Amino acid sequence: MASIDYPLEHPKIHPREFSFSETLYAWVATVDHKRLGLMYIVSALIFLVIAGIMASVMRIQLAVPNNHFVDPDTFNRLFTMHGTTMVFLVGMPIVAGLSNYLVPLMIGARDMAFPRLNAFGFWIFLFGGLLLYYSYIGGSGLSGAGSAPDVGWFAYAPLTEKAFSRGASSDFWALGVMVSGFGSIASAINVIATTISLRCPGMTLSRMPVFVWVMLVDAWLILVALPPLSAAQIMLLLDRSLGANFFNTQAGGSAVLWQHFFWIFGHPEVYILIFPAFGTLSEIIPIFSRKPIFGRPAMVGAVVAIGFISLGVWAHHMFAVGMTSWSNTFFAASSMLVGVPTGIKIFNWTATMYGGKLRFATPMLFCCGFLLQFLVAGLTGIMLAVAPFDWQLHDSYFVVAHFHFTLIGGLVFGVFAGLYYWFPKATGRMLSEKLGKWHFWLFCIGFNMTFIPLHFAGMLGMPRRIYTYAAGRGWESWNMIASIGVIFQAAGILFFVWNVIQSLRFGERAGDDPWDAWTLEWATTSPPPEYNFEKLPVVRSSRPLWDLKHPQDPDWKFE
Amino acid sequence: MAATSVVPVPPGPMEREWTTPDRGTVGIIFLIVTETALFSIFVVTYLVYIGKSLNGPYPREVLSIPIIASICLLLSSWTVYRAEHALQHNHLDRFKLWWIITILLGGEFLIATGVEWYHLITKEHFTISTNLAGSTFYSLVGLHASHVIVGLTFLLLVLIVTLAGFPIQTQFRRVRFLSWYWHFVDGIWVVVFTVVYIIGR
Amino acid sequence: MIVHALAALLQTQVPGLPEHRVANIFKPLASPAQSEYEIAVFVIAITTVIFVVVGGLIVFTIVRFRRRPSDDTRQEPPQVYGSNQIEVAWTVIPILIVFVLIGVTARITAGVQNASPPASTVKVTVIGHQWWWEVVYPDFGLTTANEIHVPASPDGKTATYLTLRSMDVIHSFWVPQLSGKTDLIPNRDNFLWIDPKEAGIYLGNCAEYCGTQHANMLLRVIAHPPGDFEKWMAEQQKPAEQNPQMTEAKAMFESLSCINCHTVKGTPAVGKFGPDLTHLMSRETIGAGVLTNTAENLRNWINDPQVAKPGCYMPSMKLTDQELGQVVSYLESLK
Ligand code: HEA
Ligand code: HEA
Ligand code: CUA
Ligand SMILES: [Cu+2]
């Protein structure tokens, strides 16, 4: 039962420039967790821009009533592909990418537990994504013209059955998403095995960085939540290809069963998506407040609690299907209970900042944006969880606003914070602070301008997933403002892209530890060598670098 | 700012010997966890749709209990354990014997399933598209059978390399993982059997 | 033509009922919406307080503890690791709030779902189709489409009891001022009752994505003042008017394949795939709300429904101008 069964590799010295094909080969054939992590993140960002452009087209269409910018089928494909891409090809690879890159570095390991499985996971994920997009060329949509899925990101049966979705579009949806899901499962098993087995000496569970804890619970959620989706997709594919009857209501099949299976996956999925942001905040806020995270055990406990409670709330997406009042109340109650551990996290982050010396570098700005926006998002979540209120809000733009607040105001802000924070580690160069501030403010203003008004449109009765609407129903101005906001968001993202391109070449040299941080990844060079650490580190507290920098006042004396 | 690429080793001795669980063990356990999640959805679907078919043939008319096949599969769990045990104590011949018996038992199970399906489809006209019972039956039993196939493939692989003279003792850890997987497939059968042939009929 | 248009225009004015175009959930006008409104206000109040307190705390922290230029950068602030009392406090207080919310939710949920409607009820079965609504009054043997006529209930003593079904995929019934959503699900019956407090026209939408034209599956509930509903019903129960001047146009209509999909009561047209047309002209809209029911719109619709509602399941019948004219004039006689 030895823990470290790697032979000690010697530093490889690269004396010459590599040719393009050599570099390409090195990346394609790599099993290095850092390269795979970066490839995950880069593909996620590319998909973010693609799906963001789709969203922009939707916002153009919805800016004014009775618009004919795109036709109905195109619009339906846009929101389906936008949602599916954002969830499965942006959110999921962000999870895998951040945990791949950071977990081994943070726990003082030389690689993931199963490097080849890791590479397999990435490529199968990418294959699934490309398969999904291939549908734009090779599929055949609801109305017969070769095109992408148009059944919404949760693809409710029986709309996806052969009778209502002819052609192959729904097959592409099910196959593409299922295949990329296998990649996520592979990477989740890997993260679990890595954190459990490859921790460096002294890195007990109680000393593990909160980020690693969060990703561990995240991997657990992936393992139990993704298979239900795969199972339902297998059933759907059997229905569509072999004439099985799982969701065939003509043969007595149930239309509600799909919804149960989908949301048994779907609800945990939204926490799977938000966890990386929880993780990055838990690392960044302490560093920029110059204080240890407040209430470490409570923070970890809250994440574990969310990891379990969130498995039992799925039917809050189904309050309108006509469940008994008992079931409705049960799911309302469990949903609201998730607010308690989530609240604990928000309070502890704030308490970490309280009494500190806050430095508002770009990563910290994004964290502050997160705190306020996620607070709003969570509270609108509570409103949705109140079943009778949800009968009004369900499937309206209020829901759209709620989940963009969680996903952009939460996830995307948290991820940007992380990217600004760890970019120096991964590339050896700082991102420009000036461009970073532009990015933050434009994106923050644009985001709020887009999604605050949509709450009101929803409360005025605007349903989601409509390609157009009539004038005079009170929705025009809200939609107009929302659409204008996208311009600012896009500008913000452009600043980010520019910042990355610019800084990769001309950015200020970062050094090993530009933020004066406390976790192990900052103890190695930037970028880290292939084997991460020359000698495996040994730790005695949850802030090993703090101990090193403050020998007279180390953490381990108090733990 | 501190420009350290030094490895932080705090002063003082380590409190205790540092060991962590074996990564393969962790990997296989969580593989089984996620497989369980997959199966449970199919099992739930089966249970939900019991008695909901609108037309026949119904399970109680066409399904007969596969007693021999089930016994074979359950026995194979024991034989694979014997094989693993033998390998652990370096009794290579005994290992091969038990391993071959395991494969035969697993093979018999698969063949029995094949025969059952052939009979159902050609004689009883009970197919995956017949009714809800058909859909749930073939998907659940089929999912299990596909796992038997995967297990058998790996069992065969081990057998082939062993017969070819590969020192399989060196791979004891992996053989053990395979046997765990096989136990899991067996355990699932107990559930599938109960649901399909006892509750479902 | 002009006369027709005028007549049609007048027709849409006939009910003379106020139209509630802005379907604000905070202006409820029926029992379920009223209960939902009350709990909504309650929950919004609580969450607003939480937002102000917690948000205020966050902003205060950000402002108060920002690093000032005068600060010594090498001096770290006091290292505080946590506090169990505080931890307990901010676990217990939210739990208490959540319990209050759960209690209220339980009560209102049961109240809305299990309340029995007033004794005097009209029964209506609403059947969702891709992308229109079939409306059946089983007690009156009447089938119409898209516009749901119900009695208003100023005194709260008459209600309309809806049975919701679907022919194809899942739809959802949502008229915000009357009630929240209830899905129409194939192979399953859902129920809902409404008692509009004021006479008027209430707008709503299908609120579950149901395919290409989900956006144009609009709902209209027309609540008649006391007494008027019965009059409307009596009109509707009559078979289609037999206008002797229309025999030629009628024959034309009946020779076309329209009758495979549409019903005109008392004629050979008995199709079930599309909306019942028996009293088409008593409707204010066509195509589940995409167009107002004017002569011109009707003509354009029949000429090619795919223009106003691309993707809908009524094909363009490719009628000649003459056929088109006759069919339209026949339809216009279906008062
Ligand atoms: C990152 C993703 C994310 C996160 C974190 C959340 C978090 C929450 N969500 Fe959200 N949700 C989505 C993503 C997310 N959601 C998505 C994508 C959908 C739509 C899917 C679709 O239909 O397409 C959705 C839809 C959705 C619905 C269904 C709406 C409908 O379709 O009718 C509901 C209903 O209950 C809901 C509730 C909640 C709740 C209660 C939380 C809670 O976890 C929030 C908890 C947080 C707080 C409460 C704030 C902080 C706490 C405090 C300050 C403590 C004090 C608070 C109290 C005492 C209450 N969400
Ligand atoms: C992580 C998740 C995520 C993210 C980040 C977003 C981001 C955005 N979303 Fe999305 N959204 C979803 C997840 C997400 N969404 C989901 C799950 C659905 C439900 C789908 C369904 O109903 O099935 C949905 C649905 C949805 C709708 C509802 C559609 C409908 O119901 O009809 C709308 C409408 O406004 C919308 C808008 C936007 C906008 C404006 C953004 C913006 O924030 C986007 C900002 C980004 C850009 C604008 C790209 C900018 C980049 C450039 C322009 C750079 C130029 C290029 C180069 C230089 C290379 N989204
Ligand atoms: Cu019917 Cu949407
Ligand atoms: Cu949810």
Query: How close C120 gets to chain A, by Cα (Å)?
Result: 24
* DSSP helix/strand/coil, C291: strand
Residue with tokens 């006091």: C78
Domain locations along chain C: 27-198, 244-332
- CA-to-CA distance for A265 and C250, rounded, in angstroms? 56
pLDDT tens by residue, A504-525: 999 889 888 899 899 999 988 8
- CA-to-CA distance for A401 and C72, rounded, in angstroms? 43
The set of chains that have 3 or more CB pairs under 8 A with B is A
Domain encompassing residue A202? 31-556
Task: Verify whether ligand 2 is closer than 6 Å to residue A70 (CB atom).
Answer: no
* Residue A207: Cβ-neighbour burial (10 angstroms; 0-12, 13-18, 19+): buried
Asked whether residue A15 is domain-assigned, the answer is: no
- The closest alpha carbon to B2, from A512, A248, A519, belongs to A512
Query: In angstroms, what is the span from residue C216 Cα to ligand 3's centroid?
Result: 8
CB-CB under 8 Å, C203 with A473: yes
Longest dimension (CA), chain B: 80
Structure tokens at C103: 């209690």
> Is it the case that residue C5 has pLDDT exceeding 50?
no
DSSP assignments along C107-150, one per residue? HHHHHHHHPPPPSEEEEEEEEEETTEEEEEETTTTEEEESEEEE
Asked whether residue A214 is domain-assigned, the answer is: yes
CA closest to B24 among chain A residues: A193
Task: Verify whether ligand 3 is closer than 6 Å to residue C208 (CB atom).
Answer: yes
The total domain count for chain A is: 1
The DSSP secondary-structure symbol of A465 reads S
Chains C and B touch (3+ CB pairs under 8 A): no
Q: Does A197 touch chain B (CB under 8 A)?
A: yes
The phi-psi region of residue C141 (left if phi > 0; otherwise alpha if psi is between -120 and 50; otherwise beta) is left
Please report how many Cα atoms fall inside a 13 Å half-sphere around the Cα of residue A113, on the Cβ side. Answer: 25
Q: Spell out the residues 6+ positions from residue A547 whose beta carbon is closer than 8 angstroms to its own.
A: A540, A541, A554, A555, A556, B8, B10
**pLDDT at B59 (0 to 100):** 87
Please report how many Cα atoms fall inside a 13 Å half-sphere around the Cα of residue A15, on the Cβ side. Answer: 0
Considering every ligand atom shown, identify the ligand nearest to the alpha carbon of residue A152 and give its number.
Answer: 2
Q: Which ipTM did the prediction report?
A: 0.93
What CATH number is attached to the domain comprising A76? 1.20.210.10
Task: List phi, psi (to 5°) of A277.
Answer: -65, -40
pLDDT tens by residue, C280-333: 999 999 999 999 999 999 999 999 999 999 999 999 988 898 889 989 989 988
- Across the range B61-79, mean pLDDT stands at 91
The total domain count for chain B is: 1
CB-CB under 8 Å, A368 with C51: no
CB-CB under 8 Å, C23 with A473: yes
* CATH topology for the C27-198 domain: Helix Hairpins (1.10.287)
Residue A11, CA distances (Å) to A198, A255, A430, A530 in order: 20, 59, 25, 8
Nearest CB to C82; choose among A296, A380, A460? A296
Asked whether residue A22 is domain-assigned, the answer is: no
- CA-to-CA distance for A477 and C82, rounded, in angstroms? 47
Give yes or no for a contact between A212 and A123, defined as CB atoms under 8 angstroms apart: no
Asked whether residue A12 is domain-assigned, the answer is: no
> Is it the case that residue C10 has pLDDT exceeding 50?
no
Domain encompassing residue B141? 66-199
Cis, bond preceding B8 (omega within 30 deg of 0): no
Residue A420, CA distances (Å) to A245, A439, A528, C153 in order: 50, 11, 17, 61
CB-CB under 8 Å, B128 with A238: yes
Cis, bond preceding B57 (omega within 30 deg of 0): yes
pLDDT tens by residue, A408-466: 999 999 999 999 999 999 999 999 999 999 999 999 999 999 999 999 999 999 999 99
Element of type H or E holding A489 = helix A476-506
Q: Spell out the residues 6+ positions from residue C304 whose beta carbon is closer than 8 angstroms to its own.
A: C316
- CA-to-CA distance for B164 and C257, rounded, in angstroms? 75
β C120-129/C158-166 pair status: parallel
- CA-to-CA distance for A452 and A445, rounded, in angstroms? 11
Query: In angstroms, what is the span from residue A337 Cα to ligand 2's centroid?
Result: 29
Query: How close A540 gets to chain B, by Cα (Å)?
Result: 7
Asked whether residue A11 is domain-assigned, the answer is: no
- The closest alpha carbon to A390, from C22, C40, C111, belongs to C40
- CA-to-CA distance for A554 and C127, rounded, in angstroms? 71
pLDDT tens by residue, B123-146: 888 999 989 999 999 999 999 999
- The closest alpha carbon to A406, from A86, A155, A113, belongs to A86
What CATH number is attached to the domain comprising B128? 1.20.120.80
What spatial distance separates the first Cα and last Cα of chain B, rounded to whole Å? Answer: 73
- CA-to-CA distance for C121 and C134, rounded, in angstroms? 19
What is the rounded radius of gyration, in angstroms, for the C-alpha atoms of chain B? 23
Name the more confident of C31 and C243: C31
Task: Verify whether ligand 2 is closer than 6 Å to residue A462 (CB atom).
Answer: no
pLDDT tens by residue, B84-106: 999 999 899 999 999 999 999 99
Per-residue pLDDT of chain A (559 residues; tens, 9 = 90+): 233 334 444 444 555 667 788 888 888 888 899 999 999 999 999 999 999 999 999 999 999 999 999 989 899 999 999 999 999 999 999 999 999 999 999 999 988 999 999 999 999 999 999 999 988 877 554 444 457 888 999 999 899 998 898 888 899 999 999 999 999 999 999 999 999 999 998 888 889 999 999 999 999 999 999 999 999 999 999 999 999 999 999 999 999 999 999 999 999 999 999 999 999 999 999 999 999 999 999 999 999 999 999 999 999 999 999 999 999 999 999 999 999 999 999 999 999 999 999 999 999 999 999 999 999 999 999 999 999 999 999 999 999 999 999 999 999 999 999 999 999 999 999 999 999 999 999 999 999 999 999 999 999 999 999 999 999 899 999 999 999 999 999 999 999 999 999 999 998 898 888 998 999 999 888 889 988 888 888 888 888 888 888 877 777 776 6
What is the rounded radius of gyration, in angstroms, for the C-alpha atoms of chain A? 23
Considering every ligand atom shown, identify the ligand nearest to the alpha carbon of residue A376 and give its number.
Answer: 1
Query: How close A336 gets to chain C, by Cα (Å)?
Result: 6
E-assigned strand segments in A372-494 = none
The DSSP secondary-structure symbol of A431 reads P
**pLDDT at B9 (0 to 100):** 57
Any idea of the CA torsion for B160, B163, B166, B171, to the nearest 10 degrees?
70
Residue with tokens 């060079």: A525
Asked whether residue B23 is domain-assigned, the answer is: no
- CA-to-CA distance for A315 and A326, rounded, in angstroms? 12
- CA-to-CA distance for A280 and A50, rounded, in angstroms? 24
Task: Return the CATH architecture of domain C244-332.
Answer: Sandwich (2.60)
The DSSP secondary-structure symbol of A310 reads G
Identify all chain A residues contacting B42, using CB atoms and an 8 Å cutoff.
231
**pLDDT at C14 (0 to 100):** 44
Q: Spell out the residues 6+ positions from residue C143 whose beta carbon is closer than 8 angstroms to its own.
A: C134, C135, C136, C137, C263, C276
Q: Spell out the residues 6+ positions from residue A398 whose beta carbon is closer than 8 angstroms to its own.
A: A380, A384, A454, A455, A457, A458, A459
Asked whether residue A112 is domain-assigned, the answer is: yes
Q: Spell out the residues 6+ positions from residue C221 whose beta carbon is closer than 8 angstroms to its own.
A: C147, C148, C150, C175, C178, C194, C196, C201, C202, C204
Asked whether residue B89 is domain-assigned, the answer is: yes
CB-CB under 8 Å, A192 with B4: no
> Is it the case that residue C222 has pLDDT exceeding 50?
yes
**pLDDT at C305 (0 to 100):** 94
- CA-to-CA distance for A100 and B139, rounded, in angstroms? 35
**pLDDT at A552 (0 to 100):** 77
Going by alpha carbons, the residue nearest to atom 50 of ligand 2 is A490
- Across the range B10-23, mean pLDDT stands at 71
β C19-20/C200-206 pair status: parallel
pLDDT band for B5, please (50, 70, 90 cuts).
very low
Q: How many CB atoms lie within 10 A of CB A164?
A: 17
Q: Spell out the residues 6+ positions from residue C247 whose beta carbon is closer than 8 angstroms to its own.
A: none
Instruction: Please report, rounded to a whole number, the percentage of residues in chain A having pLDDT higher than 90.
Output: 77
